[in-house]
Amino acid sequence: MRTDAGTGARRPREISYAQAVREALREELRRDSRVFLMGEDVGIYGGTFGVSAGLFEEFGSDRILDTPISEAVLAGAAAGAALTGTRPVVEIPFSDFLTLALDQIGNQAAKMRYMFGGAVRVPLVVRSPAGSGTGAGAQHSQSQEALFCHFPGLKVAVPSTPYDAKGLLKTAVRDDNPVVFLEQKLLYKVSGPVPEEEYLLPFGKADVKRAGSDLTIVTWGRMVGLCLEAAERLAAEGISAEVVDPRTLVPLDSGAIVSSVAKTGRLLIVHEAVRTGGFGGEIAAIVADSAAFPLLKAPIRRVAGFDIPIPYSPVLERNAVPTPERIEAAARDLVGRTATV
């Protein structure tokens, strides 16, 4: 806790998303000697985005392992290490490169516990920066969370705040199943309140980031912040938007989503990933199959990334994914209102 200089009141400290992830890693490395971090440039360099800075100096080369540039070998070695009783955390520098390790993650690690009838555990966390916004071009800017949700046996977390990032990562490290943990690049410098005392956040428990009554916005990752900004402006027009962040897509808190939609009667799904095959379609199907469906006052809407590779041009890149303007326009349309002039 920190003390406010003006009032003397105690307030939570604020740290960045990157610091929250690093703090979670440091605490778990200290807590359990079986935990280790491995990846490309995670040691002396401190990680592609500086998240692991300082860990090599504290824990040494036996616990912070720099690896060759081979995602397939990296993920395969980590899966094997997990099977032998250690708890590896793997950093892949861009989530786009997870496709190079798809067999090891989705076809091996995800299936082993089931195939051995629960006799083995696969406590593996695969961390990776995801999403656009850094001018990194089409091969380093994708949002591929839906791909990993398709593999039974994998858990998928997409935290949107420093608080969620730390609590969910600590839970992921302690889980006995493989977890794909996606960190949106533009969130690394975003700060927010994070308690100094230890805490964990459960998987499969959504968080209502903002309560509302006119429509439900379901979103995750970086889009949560954009939707909250949009909700604030919509409130000035008399539109009350409830923003629901699943925090984990697998397991998914479908009950919280259905409950919110039943209350508001409208559903807007927002995600950065491309629209076709995006996880938003799954959420729409869940609501369509639920008791909330007959309570809908308008068709379910999605605001998603366009079905194009992410452009290198900053202007085109910004507009290839949902913008606050697109989110607000869709919300107004759902409640049957136009912008206030």
Give Cα 222 distance to the centre of its chain.
8
Cis (ω within 30 of 0) for the bond into 129?
A: no
Three-state DSSP at 287 gives helix
Q: Which of 153, 74, 176, 157 is nearest to 107 (CA)?
A: 153
Name residue 5's beta-bridge partners. Answer: none
- DSSP summary character for residue 109: I
- Cα-trace Rg, the chain: 20
Give Cα 35 distance to the centre of its chain.
22
Distance between CA atoms of residues 71 and 127, nearest Å = 12
Distance between CA atoms of residues 218 and 245, nearest Å = 6
User: Do the strands 64-66 and 35-39 form a parallel or antiparallel pair, or are they unpaired?
Assistant: parallel
Q: What are phi and psi of 324, to 5 degrees?
A: -55, -35
- To 10 degrees, the CA torsion angle through 315, 318, 324, 325? 40
Decide if 278 contacts 296 (C-beta within 8 A).
Answer: no
Sign of CA dihedral 311, 313, 316, 321: positive
Identity (one letter) of the amino acid at 300?
I
Q: Using alpha carbons, list the distances in angstroms from residue 110 to 40, 150, 178, 252.
A: 22, 11, 6, 17
Q: Does the active-site annotation cover 140?
A: yes
Q: Which of 22, 87, 113, 140 is catalytic?
A: 140
Residues classed as catalytic: 140
